[in-house]
Amino acid sequence: MGPGMDPAEARCEEPEGRVYLDYNATTPPAPEVVQAVRDAMSQAWGNPSSSYPAGRKAKEHIGSARESVARMVGGRPEDIIFTSGGTEANNMVIHTACRHFHDSQATPGDSWGTPHIVTSSVEHDSVRLPLEQLVKEGLAEATFVPVSQRSGRAEVDDVLAAIRSTTCLVSIMLANNETGVIMPVMELSQRVHALNQRRVAEGLPRILVHTDAAQMIGKGRVDVQELGVDYLTIVGHKFYGPRIGALYVRGPGTTTPLHPMLFGGGQERSFRPGTENTPMIAGLGKAAELVSKNWETYEAHMQDVRDYLEAKLEASFGKQRIHHNSHFTGSKRLCNTSNFSILGPGLQGRRVLSCCKILLASVGAACHSEKGDRPSLILLSCGIPYDVAQNALRLSVGRDTTRTDVDLVVQDLMQAVAQLDQDQAL
């Protein structure tokens, strides 16, 4: 046993036959996606800007993928900008909003002051950290609206109450990656749109609306016309695609502003220059096709398995020992996500997982996995007590997860908890 290691961790082995339940962190590429990437690498290797056959083939692959991604979210092909992933897309929206705020002033000498952005207290780091950096540099002001401890949502009235005369962007995720709670983005867009009509008459800057849909795509209905947003972030590896992304923009550069963060060869209409990653874009297009065709089937299956998991946990551990951290009154949540705590001393989520021989999962967002036993700030924001949040596990099922997998996982959790209970008694 290494110095400083938890005895429980030191005893845990990692035999084959694991069950992966961390699909909110990432998903394996679907076989059809792997094939699309392979085909593009071998058949469409040319530079898409070139006129010879391999280049034209690459351009066709990109155009087809753009149509598929647009269809998946209910937009137009010209509204889709391919990016390296969700982080870039989110940063691009924030950059654009601040730039547009300054560009929109009536004359160069005018000054509305510092651009202000409203977001929630439970956003992904790729929204929170860019905003904190801009605030630190004095380039923007930001309000992080707390979520309701009753609903787990960023409530529309609370978001609207945070808006100032200098507000230029509201960015609220479509569904939370840890609790699975679905945010009221459609209602928020409607209210901001009505507010913008009054602001124009008063000479105030337009408020742009963005949602990060990373967790929702492939697990529920996503339609940009219904949502009414100006921007929507798309992340391929969350819906069995490759690790690239896209940004939906409602009429980029015309109806809705979009300013590049990079400058180069003019690809993606100069909004995101750089020679296109044709194989990954082709893979993203294929993943989008699968979602468009099958999302309702995926949703029904994952909800059935998730609900079975939660019932099995209560039946095995007893209702009094399971605290559901993602059950909020009046809120809908992702079909695949269960965040719960097994109550008791010494059962911190990390320790339980370290003693599992079958289950592969996380205590929260994968990018926070180095934070030890410190509970999730998102759960604390939602009003989950500190000692309960410390014991949290986030299990997220996938398209191929079965009830048999769930039976194995619950049995595995029971042996892990029994082992830790025994340690605690010594």
Catalytic residues: 367
Amino acid at 229: V
Q: Are strands 245-249 and 231-235 parallel, antiparallel or unpaired?
A: antiparallel
Q: Tokens 């769930």 correspond to what residue?
A: 406
Whole-number Å distance between alpha carbons of 128 and 291: 28
Amino acid at 103: D
In whole angstroms, what separates CA 315 from the centre of its chain?
31
Handedness of CA 68, 72, 78, 80 (dihedral sign): negative
Q: Tokens 């409530």 correspond to what residue?
A: 155
Residue 397 is encoded by which pair of tokens?
Answer: 């099922």
Show Cβ contacts of residue 204 under 8 Å, excluding neighbours closer than 6 positions: 112, 165
Angle at 87 between CA 97 and CA 98, to 5 degrees: 15
Amino acid at 281: I
Closest CA to 328 of 162, 173, 154, 170: 154
Q: What is the largest CA-CA distance in the chain?
A: 74
Handedness of CA 59, 60, 61, 67 (dihedral sign): positive
Determine contact, residues 56/46, Cβ cutoff 8 Å.
yes
Query: Helices (DSSP H) in 142-268: which residue ranges?
Result: 156-161, 185-201, 224-227
Whole-number Å distance between alpha carbons of 106 and 112: 10
In whole angstroms, what separates CA 109 from the centre of its chain?
40
